[in-house]
């Protein structure tokens, strides 16, 4: 899934291009969910990643 976030509120604004891939998971080992972070080059601050993971799980 692709999503583009754009928000202008008087300052420099916000922009993000988000790509999420959802695929079946081999659950034979009991694992029901896996989040894989493929962000490169520090493009998203590391402290934001857990919130992204939580948002996906809540969706």
Provide mean pLDDT across the span 13-36: 88
Q: Which three-class secondary structure state does DSSP give residue 35?
A: coil
pLDDT per residue over 12-24, tens digit each? 888 878 888 889 9
Residue 35 to residue 12: CA distance in whole angstroms: 31
What integer pLDDT is reported at residue 24 of this predicted model? 92
Apex CA 47: angle with CA 34 and CA 38, to 5°? 45
pLDDT per residue over 44-59, tens digit each? 888 989 998 999 899 8
What integer pLDDT is reported at residue 42 of this predicted model? 78
Tokens for 44? 């998203």
């Amino acid at each position: 899934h692709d999503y583009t976030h754009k928000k202008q509120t008087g300052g420099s604004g916000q922009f993000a291009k988000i790509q999420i891939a959802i695929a079946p998971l081999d659950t034979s080992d009991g694992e029901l969910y896996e989040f894989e972070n493929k962000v490169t080059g520090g493009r998203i601050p590391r402290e934001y990643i857990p919130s992204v993971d939580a948002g996906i799980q809540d969706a």
